[in-house]
Structures are given as structure tokens and as C-alpha cells.
Structure 1
């Protein structure tokens, strides 16, 4: 009978601690609202891993960035705001002063419009803190029509936004 008194407080305490998920799926949509597939975000020791699995993009090289607002209003996705930049850095993975936290390597889309890639985002996290993607305004992932040149301010001269997905807790 005494053992049950120890179990109940432990169960109550475990239900009170709420942690951010360490894995999240982000569904990506084009400008007309068609689903292009998902990008799976997974917390790693070295940052956030993005497993990209998309179809329906135009072939070629496309910029991909994490943006500062969790809204993806088509067709232009301006609602996603600017690149996620909690440390007020300059744009571009090639910039000598460091990049926005949301700057990512370009995607290479195959001739059939598909892309499968694994990208690391070392300057962001799903955990609490300054670099967390779970902000009051939310965050999103945006794909642009062209490649990011890695230097041009403020967004790499990568053209218009063609796809967007909101990063939200609990979408696995």
C-alpha cells in the first residue's frame, strides 16, 4: 500500500513538465496552396537537421531560409517576414561577419521537380532560448525561385518566394 503513495506524486510531476518537441514536420505549400511535401526538423547536438523531401518545384538551384514569422499567406508569402536573425547578423553563409541564423545552403531540385536533401542549421534550435524557432510570432521555412548568392543583403538576391511552410509545435 505504501508503494502507491510514491507513484502518484511521480506521475503528477511528470505530467507538469512540458518540453518542446525534438522533431517537427513542416508541410510546404506552393503559391496556389498545393502541398509539395514535408521537411522534417530534428534536434541534433550540432543544431537542427532538416530532412527535405519535396516534389513539384521547378528544376534547378533554389534558396531556402528560415523566416521570422510563422505565417505563410500565399501567393507571395510576404507574411513570413525576413530571415530569422536573433543575433542581428548580416545575410549570407559566405559573409565574413557571420550569417543570419535562418540562412541555409541552397537546394538542388532534380529535372523531375523533386528534391531530397539533408541540411544542417547549426544556429537554431527547437529548445527554449534565444535561438529557438518557437517564438511569439512563430517561424517558417521559405523557398525562393532562384539561388542564394551567399552575400547580397538582405536576402541573397534569390528572387521571389515560391513555397512556404509554418513551423509549429506538435506537427509530427
Structure 2
């Protein structure tokens, strides 16, 4: 190997190490120049078996955890399993492409208030007689950074109630709606910075 080739190889290796370190840091830390993500959003669309199910759910960082708020319409009246899934992939017509429940700590399936649960276990939402479910959940297990980050993951509504105990998904039945959790517009701006002009 020539001296020039050796120097090039060393430089390339150093660059790869640096990129790996940066990627690891970004996964486990807030991004200072963005002030950290403060809000995310998921727009839910019906699966093949979901009929007219649709909705919008926001996730807002608070000192006590992530506040999950929104509305889902077109449901059958009653309880419906509501979970964060491991992949932000709603491409298949049954939403199985979103994978299983988001479970980075390898815990059993349970309800949202259990000591041991999937991070993605948000329990149930309840639709009224008009098929509309209002969501208002505060969850301390969810995060916008680190191993528990829900950014880029899937949000699923199921056809039936989650029994909060059966593995792997609470016997909640078909997936009737799917959405991808993404950073909301203006939610990562540096503290004190002005919003972009229209």
C-alpha cells in the first residue's frame, strides 16, 4: 500500500467512526440547535378492513411526559386498542407492515399504567355512538429521543378492545387505521427563534 493510499484509508476510517458517533448521539440526545422535538403528529388512515376510519393525533412534550391528544372517527362504538408500533410503515393494506408493538425494553404486553409494559401500550380509546373517539392521554413512558423515541414509528387503532394482558397485542383484532408519527411543523425550533415567514 502506498503512503497516499494509507493516508486515504485512515481518513476514511476516521470519518466513519465520527459518523457512527454522531448517529449514536443523535439517537440518545435532544438536538441542541433545534431545541429538541416538542411536538409530533400522526394522521390516521383506514386499512382495507377499516372502512371510513380516520383521524389525527398529536403528541406534545410536557414536564410530566408526552400528552397524546386527538380524534378518531368512523369507528364502531366501544373500545378499540390503541398502540404505538415499531415501524412507521403503513404500506400494506392490513398495516401489518408496521410490525408489532413498540417494545424496546422487552417487556410483556399490559395496560398503560402497568409497571411492566410495552412502551407502545396506550390501552384503549372509546368511540361514542357516532363512532368518534376523543383522545386525552398523558404517558411518561413515551419520549421524543433515546431508546423510547416514538418519532418515525407507527400508530395503530384496532377493531376490538385491548384486554391489556394477552400476548402479544391484547387480542385487539384487526388493524383498522394506521399513521406514522412525525415531527410537527415548528416543533423543533430553537428556543426564542422566530417562526419562518409565510
- What TM bracket, shorter-length normalisation? 0.7 to 0.9
1:167 match: 181
Q: Find out whether 1:36 has 2:77 as its counterpart.
A: no
2:73 match: 55
Superposition deviation, residue 96 in structure 1: 6.6
Superposition deviation, residue 130 in structure 1: 1.4
Quick check: 1:20–1:169 contact (8 Å CA) kept in 2? no
SS of alignment partner, residue 104 of structure 1: strand
Q: Find out whether 1:133 has 2:147 as its counterpart.
A: no
2:165 match: 151
TM-score of the aligned structures, taking structure 2 as reference length: 0.70
Quick check: 1:25–1:171 contact (8 Å CA) kept in 2? no
Q: Distance in 1 between matches of 2:114 and 2:142?
A: 19
SS of alignment partner, residue 17 of structure 1: helix
TM-score of the aligned structures, taking structure 1 as reference length: 0.80
Please, which of 42, 53, 57 is the counterpart of residue 26 of structure 1?
42
2:135 match: 117
Q: Which consecutive residues of structure 1, in runs of 5 or more, have no partner in the other structure?
A: 1-15
Query: Could you say which structure has the larger radius of gyration?
Result: 2
Please, which of 87, 100, 125 is the counterpart of residue 107 of structure 1?
125
Quick check: 1:64–1:105 contact (8 Å CA) kept in 2? yes
Superposition deviation, residue 20 in structure 1: 3.9
Q: Distance in 2 between matches of 1:171 and 1:120?
A: 21
Q: Which consecutive residues of structure 2, in runs of 5 or more, have no partner in the other structure?
A: 1-31, 187-198
Deviations 1:78-113 (A, max 9, x none): 011110111111111289760000001211101111
Superposition deviation, residue 120 in structure 1: 2.1
Please, which of 135, 142, 148 is the counterpart of residue 156 of structure 2?
142
Please, which of 88, 91, 108 is the counterpart of residue 70 of structure 1?
88
79 and 111 in structure 1: CA distance in 2 versus 1, 3 angstrom threshold: same
Whichever structure has more helix as a proportion of its residues is: 2
122 and 75 in structure 1: CA distance in 2 versus 1, 3 angstrom threshold: same
